[in-house]
Amino acid sequence: MLAIHQLSKRYKNNIWAVQDFDLSIRANELVAIAGPNGSGKTSIINCLLSIIDPTSGEVHLDGHPNDSHEFKQRIAYVPDELILPEALTGSEYLDFVTSMYEHANAEKRKNLIELFDMKAALNEPIETYSHGMKKKTQLIAAFMLKSSVVIMDEPFRGLDVEAIIMTKKLMSKYVEKDGSILLSTHDLMAAENMCDRIAILSKGKKVAEGTVADLKKEHGCANLEEVFMKVSMLSDRSARFEKIIENF
Ligand SMILES: Nc1ncnc2c1ncn2[C@@H]1O[C@H](COP(=O)(O)OP(=O)(O)OP(=O)(O)O)[C@@H](O)[C@H]1O
């Protein structure tokens, strides 16, 4: 189980990006975090992966703290940003990722390359790739590992329709086979269709958590978008915007 306990992050400019954030994700669960721009999603992921230090709080995976070798070997990450070594070919990059992990799976790598139709492209330098091809390379790199958890930050951004469908199926299969996925996304329709639970953030604080069905019931909303607008306190702004658009 991935357990985030009382995580807080204050940056040097005194902004509290995250405050007292708790979340647990068990095996066979896909949990989404959603929130408006600047609500703290990336800060949570960066603390979780030890990319930045939290101000307080702890993250464990099956009891292993997030700065431990065991944690790092069992967690895979699909970042939103397409930061890749541009001079390497896709194949060389996958070799590099393989060399960093004890449990990369050659058979999975081969199948993922076929799934994302990247066989020919992988021989070319990454600098020649389109946005979607870079994203596919990141997805292959993450899912070829024998991990327990995959952290996915806006995984569908820039992918074509076929690749989105494949990625969603891949995610469902990974979770079915005892994996856990933490998905950060603005795509509430995908979150509503895919996730077992969702945590909604507003200004660094968790303002709602539950299954989509429970949240809709609790807040008297027809869909997740309505719940999101309500609990992230965007409803007032939304009413004002309706007026502006009406008079446009
Ligand atoms: N390096 C930094 N230094 C200072 N403040 C930061 C830094 N990074 C983020 N912040 C602030 O922390 C808050 C949370 O930002 P964060 O990037 O975690 O939000 P987010 O939910 O991922 O946003 P988005 O949906 O726009 O990607 C914001 O107020 C942001 O301005």
pTM recorded for the entire structure: 0.92
Give the C-alpha separation, 246 to 248, whole Å: 6
Nearest residue CA, atom 8 of ligand 1? 43
Q: Tokens at residue 21, please?
A: 């954030």
Find out whether 96 and 122 touch, Cβ atoms under 8 Å: no
Report the amino acid identity of residue 17: A
Angle between helices 131-143 and 106-115 (to 10 degrees): 150
Residue 237 in this model has a pLDDT that exceeds 80: no
Q: Are 31 and 23 in contact (CB under 8 A)?
A: yes
Q: What is the pLDDT of residues 74-115, one digit of tens each?
A: 999 999 988 899 999 999 999 999 999 988 899 999 999 999
Neighbours of 103 (CB within 10 A): 11
Tens of pLDDT, residue by residue over 13-46, are 999 999 999 999 999 999 999 999 999 999 999 9
Q: Which of 135-139, 173-177, 240-244 has the lowest mean pLDDT?
A: 240-244
Q: Which of 12, 16, 42 gets mutated to test ligand 1 (max ligand atoms within 8 A of its CB)? A: 42
Q: Give me the phi and psi of 77, to 5 degrees please.
A: -140, 130
**What spatial distance separates the first Cα and last Cα of the chain, rounded to whole Å?**
50
Mean pLDDT (whole number) for 212-240: 85
Q: Cβ(17) to ligand 1 under 6 A?
A: yes
Query: Which amino acid would we find at residue 97?
Result: V
Please state the rounded mean pLDDT for residues 209-227: 93
